[in-house]
Amino acid sequence: MPRNKSYSDDLVLEKAMNVFWVHGYEATSVRLLEKEMGINQFSIYASFKNKKGLFINTLQKYRQLVIETSFQPLLQEHAGFAELERFLLNLTTLKRSKEIKKGCLIVNTAGELGEKDPEIAHELNLYYDFIRNMLLRVLQNAVAKKEIPENTDVEKQAGFFLGVMQGVSVASKTMDKTRLNDFISIALAQLK
Amino acid sequence: MPRNKSYSDDLVLEKAMNVFWVHGYEATSVRLLEKEMGINQFSIYASFKNKKGLFINTLQKYRQLVIETSFQPLLQEHAGFAELERFLLNLTTLKRSKEIKKGCLIVNTAGELGEKDPEIAHELNLYYDFIRNMLLRVLQNAVAKKEIPENTDVEKQAGFFLGVMQGVSVASKTMDKTRLNDFISIALAQLK
DNA sequence: TCAATTTCTAAGCATGTGCCTGGAATAGAG
DNA sequence: CTCTATTCCAGGCACATGCTTAGAAATTGA
């Protein structure tokens, strides 16, 4: 009986994600969103409740998307030092593509909103925990494969590389590619 | 002949700095500024031209203030590894004081505005260049004092620690103190 | 074909935004 | 004291903000 939606929630969500990614949360207006998403304000509020609801959906979409693409090499069962190295060095070219230095949406959000909103903070923590666990597994694999010393404190190192990733995200907005590569290569070399 | 100002530019600037620090640039309204600075909007525009002008003055004030306080130990002529270590470990307690995780104003701004505005971007670069040079001198001292290996690539290391500092700034908003300490201690240990 | 049900459109709400203006208050110079 | 330059204050400007609502348009089952 009902009339059908003329748009896909998933598709417009991806467009919203890019808007938030470029402008941040506060600086993104609902007017701009409806323009870029190609749907009316009414539809935005009907599908995602309000601006914050849309943003949280956006963060979830981002996590899903990054896991499906960038993180894929690190999520392979056998991923070790080589995969970590390639992944990190890839970041420098990835983040700076399209002449727009967008950084990581999650890190941007942590920087802008921190823990001011509990729901959003929860979303950030989900992301960070996922990364920490992923890195932990990679480092354990690297130890098992004898790519890094046996006595490596993999827990600490996982936290360290999470910090490095956050640093790369903000540094990518002001550092040039060479310096970013230096930053990463030192972080990696330290694993021996 | 003129009537005298009833406020000190420097003093109200410091108050403005704290407002921008907590809320970021976009989310800080002129109404809130006049309230916290204790002066009328007219006076704000008379003294600092407009909101952006005030913000740029704020960034300069911040740089000056940080140099006079936090960076002081590192700017001593003989500052070496010990000073670097104490400085970095201090960051974790500093940034998280007052239950508010403000991070570094410059890094926050880089995250929020990136290079969207050239004047602001210039201000950020001034700050980063200053830090890089400061770190470079400290590392050179450390080499001279034989605290770290002679063949250390001090230029790269200076860039590395600048990246670490940026990472600490954003990580301080979500990581607990222990993890932050782990992050920093690994970065330091890597110097051997 | 028609009625039910949902989507969409456009207009508008109250409030907040950065910035400006006219005139009162204040202080120094003559 | 008077004149004048400057600061301060109140109010207001045009526009942007997040969000809502009434009604038209569209799609389905009966």
Q: Is the CB of A37 under 7 A from strand D?
A: no
Question: B108, B100 in Cβ contact below 8 A?
Answer: no
State chain B's mean pLDDT as an integer. Answer: 93
Query: Model confidence over B86-104: pLDDT tens digits?
Result: 999 999 876 666 656 899 9
pLDDT at A76: 97
Q: Does B52 reach chain A within 8 Å, measured CB to CB?
A: no
Q: What is the mean pLDDT of residues A66-86?
A: 97
Q: Which of B38-42, B141-145, B161-165 has the lowest mean pLDDT?
A: B38-42
Q: Note the pLDDT of residue A95.
A: 66
Name the amino acid, one letter, at A159.
G
- Using a CB-CB cut-off of 8 Å, the residues of chain A touching B59 are none
Q: What is the CA radius of gyration of chain B?
A: 19
Of B95, B81, B73, B89, the closest CA to residue B144 belongs to B81
> Which nucleotides in chain C lie closer than 7 A to a protein CB?
3-12, 16-22, 25-29
Indicate whether A108 pLDDT > 70: yes
Which residue has the closest alpha carbon to C16 C1'? B29
Q: How confident is the model at residue A186 (pLDDT cuts 50, 70, 90)?
A: very high
Q: What is the average per-residue pLDDT within A32-43?
A: 92
A45–B contact, CB cutoff 8 A: no
Residue A1's pLDDT is what? 56
Lowest mean pLDDT among A61-70, A102-111, B3-12: B3-12
pLDDT of B96 reads: 62
**Cα B31 from Cα A125, distance rounded (Å):** 33
Distance CA B40, CA B5 (A): 12
Distance CA B111, CA A171 (A): 9
Does the CB of B151 fall within 7 Å of any strand D atom?
Answer: no
E strand segments, chain B: none
Confidence at residue B192, expressed as pLDDT on a 0 to 100 scale: 84
Percent of chain A at pLDDT exceeding 70: 95
C10 C1': nearest CA residue: A40
Write the burial class of residue B180 (CB in 10 Å: 0-12 exposed, 13-18 middle, 19+ buried). Answer: buried
* Cα three-residue angle A158-A164-A169, rounded to 5 degrees: 130
Ramachandran bin of B175, using left for φ above 0, alpha for ψ from -120 to 50, beta for the remaining angles: beta
Residue A191 has pLDDT above 70, yes or no: yes
Average pLDDT over residues A60-74: 96
pLDDT higher than 90, residue B48: yes
Quote the CA–CA distance of B48 and B77 in Å, as a whole number. 36
Average pLDDT in chain A: 93
Contact B155, A131 (CB under 8 A): no
Q: What is the mean pLDDT of residues B179-188?
A: 96
- Distance from the Cα of B119 to chain A's closest Cα (Å) equals 14
Question: Quick check: A12 pLDDT over 60?
Answer: yes
Torsional sign, CA A51, A15, A163, A84: positive
Answer whether A103 sits within 8 Å of B114, measured CB to CB: yes
Would you call A162 an interface residue with chain B, using a CB distance cutoff of 8 Å? yes
Residues having Cβ less than 7 A from any atom in strand C: A 1-7, 39-43, 46; B 1-4, 28-32, 41-42, 45, 50-52
Q: Which residue's entry shows tokens 């770290």?
A: B148
Instruction: Determine the Cα–Cα distance for residues A32 and A79; give it in Å rounded to an integer.
Output: 41
Stretch B164-171: mean pLDDT, rounded?
Answer: 96
Chain A positions in Cβ-Cβ contact with residue B156 (cut-off 8 Å): 182, 185-186
Interface test with A, best of B106, B169, B186 (most A CBs within 10 A): B186
pLDDT over threshold 80, residue B157: yes
Strand D closer than 7 A to residue A151 Cβ = no
In the predicted structure, residue B53 carries a pLDDT above the cut 70: yes
